[in-house]
Amino acid sequence: MGNSALRAHVETAQKTGVFQLKDRGLTEFPADLQKLTSNLRTIDLSNNKIESLPPLLIGKFTLLKSLSLNNNKLTVLPDEICSLKKLETLSLNNNHLRELPSTFGQLSALKTLSLSGNQLGALPPQLCTLRHLDVVDLSKNQIRSIPDTVGELQVIELNLNQNQISQISVKISCCPRLKILRLEENCLELSMLPQSILSDSQICLLAVEGNLFEIKKLRELEGYDKYMERFTATKKKFA
């Protein structure tokens, strides 16, 4: 991509606070964006070939609210990304990430996190300290089990479709705001699904198709009627 085209994008972004450069075959994060650290609110560099983020630059976007780097080649995130105190939306679908920085819990304004199609082997414990997190998409990763720490998650919607989950901690029923839990196409036996999800949680939409049991067997479990009450009440609210 030519320098003049990039310059034009930078000039536009200076006025709008939005820098969007998708499908351009970029192999690195544009260094020219250092001129815009104090006024960008949105950066979208999806569908490129970016392999890493510049540590010295990425943390300086003090007003950044939305960062999208879907469909790139990121293998690791620098710790400096955790300095983005205003960041509300982070989309990193279809990269090669295996873990999140240990300081990820410092992204205190984060509301929506999309990490579908990466190589995460576990539910990142750092997510449990994020108090404003509403929606987390961890579908299409390599997660095998959901640990006790899940009970501290503040999310409203958790998408774990298409992982390799065979075990779920009963603590998932303790999530104070969890309403939508997606567990489709995993490796769950019915005996491994905590019954308290049905009888004693806030969850009003449980999606479990494509596991190692028939859905009609789920309906026979104790507590299913309580779950259906929540499901129906929510449906009415949005009808």
Residue 9 falls within a domain, yes or no?
no
Residue 143 falls within a domain, yes or no?
yes
**Residues 158, 145: Cα–Cα separation, whole Å:** 14
Residue 39 falls within a domain, yes or no?
no
Q: In this structure, what CATH number is given to the domain that contains residue 138?
A: 3.80.10.10
36-86 pLDDT, tens digit per residue, is: 999 999 999 999 999 999 999 999 999 999 999 999 999 999 999 999 999
Q: How far is CA 196 from CA 59, 79, 91, 173, 232, in A?
A: 41, 37, 32, 6, 18
3-state class (DSSP) for residue 206? strand
Domain coverage including residue 108: 47-237
- Report H helices in the chain: 3-16, 55-58, 196-199, 215-218, 224-238
| Average pLDDT rounded to a whole number, residues 137-156 | 98
Query: Would the pLDDT of 4 be above 80?
Result: no
Residue 69 falls within a domain, yes or no?
yes
Query: Would the pLDDT of 1 be above 60?
Result: no
**Residues 137, 122: Cα–Cα separation, whole Å:** 13
- With tokens 């984060």, the residue in question is 110
81-113 pLDDT, tens digit per residue, is: 999 999 999 999 999 999 999 999 999 999 999
Residue 8 falls within a domain, yes or no?
no
Residue 31 falls within a domain, yes or no?
no
**Residues 157, 6: Cα–Cα separation, whole Å:** 37
Strand partners, 137: 114, 159
Structure tokens at 172: 């998932």
Q: Is residue 2 very low, low, confident or very high in pLDDT (cuts 50, 70, 90)?
A: low
Q: Reduce the secondary structure of 67-129 to three states and give it as a string.
A: EECCCCCCCCCCHHHHHCCCCCEEECCCCCCCCCCCCHHHCCCCCEEECCCCCCCCCCHHHHH
What pLDDT was estimated at residue 112?
98
Total domains in the fold of the chain: 1
Residue 81 falls within a domain, yes or no?
yes
Residue 176 falls within a domain, yes or no?
yes
The structure's pTM equals: 0.96
